[in-house]
Chain A
Amino acid sequence: MTEVLASRSFRGPAAEDAIESVHNNLDSLWLDVPFVQDMDQMTFTTAVIESASNIVQHAEPAGPDQVELGVDITVQPTLLQARVSAYHAKPPFGPMEPATPGEDAESGRGLALIQALVTTVTFERQDGTNTWVLSRTSQA
Chain B
Amino acid sequence: MEFSYEVKDSYAEVKADGRLNMVSAPKLREFVTDVIAGGSNRIVVNLENTAFMDSSGLGALIGCLKAARQAGGDLRIAAVQPQVKMVLQLTSMDKVLTAYGTAEEAFRND
Contact = CB atoms under 8 A, between A and B. Distances in A.
The answer to whether A binds B is yes
A86 B74 CA distance: 39
A13 to B, nearest CB: 14
A109 interface: yes
Which range contains the number of B residues in contact with the other chain?
20 to 34
A138 interface: no
B52 interface: yes
A20 B23 contact: yes
Contacts, number: 67
A121 interface: no
Interface string B54-67: 11101110110010
A107 B55 contact: yes
B7 interface: no
A14 B22 CA distance: 13
A46 B83 contact: yes
A106 B65 CA distance: 10
